[in-house]
């Protein structure tokens, strides 16, 4: 992408984040996903952007709403949300010729402990995969960058950036998911996005045969069932999503007769988080760097407006850093509102539970 195209992605990314925040504000017990879809559609119209999912290969709604065992691409309907559900809302906006893509999983009412663990682990899968990109680039004169959103711009000096393999993301994600006893969906993956809604590269979230050399940590043998052989390396101007889908049980999925709704084959729950990233050159004439911004510029990630009710909450250093870099996910605010001990929940150790194919 050119500098002008990157700016176009930042704009549509910010709009996507605004629409997602509006949709999440409407989530409550008894609300239908049809109602959430209506809110999304109207929020897009207010911002003079188009909801990319609507009529995309005959998809009938303006957003995807995936509840409990639905992995992704759930179609909004008249079913009221129930206490204890987990809900993923996936938003893509089209504005100025560019698509901005972001999603989050949130709680409906009061979640059980396993739902909290699943959602927390899934968010960490996304955050740690982005951390891994930073760690790799830091060895090539990586420069740290700005604040939150869901378009994340990763900046590095072109002369020293060797190129991060797209498949490396799967190693980090698989390790994190396995640490909580969860599994990584393999049928669906991250993708390129800009003027096209979906385009190369494909970015699988499961592991390859070998551990990521830049990541310290053990890799359970159960991570190595099948090899991620995705081709390609990250280069300046690339724009793509990372959007891990993590299941409580098996990673295997099946498709409903509507040809869209993907569900876990064992009926157990699934969660997902997504951000869109642009790789930019960290040079003086790069807008983000010229303004003193960081190389990891989450320009459409969540921005807290008004009073922050969690401003005085002490968080584990790793989580606090993730929230600073990528935006604090809504589920953390939900736990705080439920008077859950956010610090204890986020810092609780996860035991490795090797999974069998």
| 275, 301 contact by CB (below 8 A) | yes
In a domain, 357, yes or no: no
In a domain, 302, yes or no: yes
In a domain, 62, yes or no: yes
For residue 319, the model assigns a pLDDT of 85
Do the annotations mark residue 7 as ligand-binding?
no
Among the residue ranges 1-10, 62-71, 164-173, 238-247, the one predicted with the least confidence is 164-173
In a domain, 356, yes or no: no
Q: Which domain holds residue 89?
A: 3-347
d(CA 216, CA 245): 23
Do the annotations mark residue 90 as ligand-binding?
yes
For residue 130, the model assigns a pLDDT of 81
Residue 137 sits in a domain whose CATH number is: 3.90.230.10
pLDDT tens, residue by residue, 153-162 = 555 433 223 3
State the total domains in the chain: 1
In a domain, 353, yes or no: no
Over residues 183-188, mean pLDDT = 94
In a domain, 205, yes or no: yes
Do the annotations mark residue 77 as ligand-binding?
no
Over residues 311-340, mean pLDDT = 88
In a domain, 28, yes or no: yes
pLDDT band, very low/low/confident/very high, at 282 (cuts 50, 70, 90):
very low
Q: pTM for this one?
A: 0.85
For residue 306, the model assigns a pLDDT of 81
Helix, strand, coil percentages, rounded to 5, for the chain = 30, 20, 50
Do the annotations mark residue 243 as ligand-binding?
yes
For residue 326, the model assigns a pLDDT of 87
Q: Of 86, 84, 87, which is closest to residue 109 (Cα–Cα)?
A: 84
In a domain, 355, yes or no: no
Cα separations in angstroms, 272 against 55, 217, 231, 291: 23, 23, 23, 33
H-type alpha helices, 139-275: 168-179
Among the residue ranges 12-26, 54-68, 325-339, the one predicted with the least confidence is 325-339
Among residues of the chain, what percentage have pLDDT more than 70?
76
Q: Is 195 exposed, middle or buried (0-12, 13-18, 19+ CB in 10 A)?
A: middle
Do the annotations mark residue 336 as ligand-binding?
no
């Amino acid at each position: 992408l050119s500098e002008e195209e990157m700016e176009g992605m930042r704009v549509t990314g910010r709009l996507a984040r605004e629409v997602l925040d509006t949709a999440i504000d409407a989530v409550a017990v008894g609300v239908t996903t049809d109602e959430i879809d209506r809110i999304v559609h109207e929020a897009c119209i207010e911002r003079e952007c188009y909801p990319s999912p609507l009529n995309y290969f005959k998809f009938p709604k303006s957003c995807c709403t995936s509840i409990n065992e639905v992995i992704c691409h759930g179609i909004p309907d008249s079913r009221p949300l129930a206490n204890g559900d987990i809900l993923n809302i996936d938003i893509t906006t089209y504005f100025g010729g560019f698509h901005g893509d972001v999603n989050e999983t949130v709680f409906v009412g009061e979640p059980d402990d396993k739902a909290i663990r699943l959602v927390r682990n899934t968010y960490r899968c996304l955050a740690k995969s982005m951390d891994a990109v930073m760690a790799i680039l830091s060895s090539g004169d990586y420069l740290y960058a700005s604040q939150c959103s869901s378009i994340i711009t990763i900046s590095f000096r072109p002369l020293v950036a060797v190129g991060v393999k797209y498949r490396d993301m799967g190693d980090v994600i698989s390790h994190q998911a396995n640490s909580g006893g969860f599994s990584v969906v393999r049928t669906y993956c991250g993708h390129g996005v800009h003027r096209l809604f979906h385009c190369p590269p494909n970015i699988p979230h499961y592991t390859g045969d070998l551990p990521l050399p830049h990541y310290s940590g053990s890799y359970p043998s159960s991570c190595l069932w099948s090899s991620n052989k995705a081709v390609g390396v990250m280069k300046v101007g690339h724009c793509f999503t990372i959007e891990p889908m993590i299941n409580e049980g098996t990673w295997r999925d099946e498709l409903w007769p509507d040809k869209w709704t993907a569900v876990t084959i064992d009926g157990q729950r699934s969660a997902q988080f997504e951000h869109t990233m642009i790789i930019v050159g960290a040079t003086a004439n790069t807008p983000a760097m010229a303004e003193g911004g960081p190389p990891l510029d989450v320009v459409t990630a969540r921005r807290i407006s008004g009073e922050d009710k969690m401003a005085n909450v002490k968080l584990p250093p790793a989580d606090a850093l993730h929230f600073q870099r990528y935006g604090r996910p809504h589920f953390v605010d939900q736990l705080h509102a439920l008077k859950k001990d956010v610090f204890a929940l986020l810092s609780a150790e996860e035991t490795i539970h090797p999974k069998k194919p």
